[in-house]
Structure 1
Amino acid sequence: MTMRARHRFVGSPRLGALLASGLLAALAAGCGPRDADQPIIPSTPLRAVDTPPPEYPAEIGCDQIGGKVVLQLTVGPEGKPTKATVLTSSKTQALDDAAVKGVQRWRFEAATRNGKPVATDIQVPVTFHPPADRPAHCGPA
């Protein structure tokens, strides 16, 4: 006599029906096994292409102020920044504003998921150093 394994769902029949319908819905939505003929497309990270440093604000050049601004930057699927938010201020509004304005010119190669470009959030530190030479229009120190 051979023994066959039997599987029995322990619980209510209604719960079993709900689980089965959820599994079918997941498979229909593409969450199930991948078709063998579909290639695996690896994801790629965001890559900086052109990120020139933001310009130091001329209006504070005489004050010789430096500082660091940390921005939360959202890069859209086109590789252009779509949103820049100050996370950590330099405590100088002109530097914060220059950082936000400067990163808007940056360009990236967008990150991809399943071969398609996607928006990506990154944190970007921007450090400003006062001009090495005090601007002539400032007068004597």
Structure 2
Amino acid sequence: MALPVMAYKAWQNRPKISMGSRITSSLLALGAATGVFLGTRALVKNFKQGIREQQALSEGNPAAFATQLKMAFENDNYFGWGTDEEMVFTVLESIPNGFMNKVQRAYRDLYGRNLSADLQDELSSEEFVTALQIINSKT
């Protein structure tokens, strides 16, 4: 019984570590600033996505092309999986010259992913090379 009592007394007499009020205030301010930054960033991202979604409804808009590409990636065929490669190439070819950068930016704003990375994931190597050739001719 003496050992637990001695341990308790040693614990009570341990040196106290206290952070100064400046350090505590600095940590709280840093946490608040981080929260404000992340919150503002999320609001801006949601705002941009909302605008892009509205723009996707008008034909010929870069957001409309980005939406068509995403729909081709998520094509549900008879087996419930797969990409409609023909649709991907049709959409890529229908994008006017000089619009490709805008389409890539709209795709990133809408889906938070890079269009080229999604093309590489969804297409075979030969199809991806063909898609890149089409994209490079449009920029």
TM-score norm. by structure 1 comes to: 0.28
Higher relative CO (Cα under 8 Å, sequence separation at least 6) belongs to 1
More helix by share: 2
Name the one with the larger strand percent.
1
TM-score w.r.t. structure 2 length?
0.28
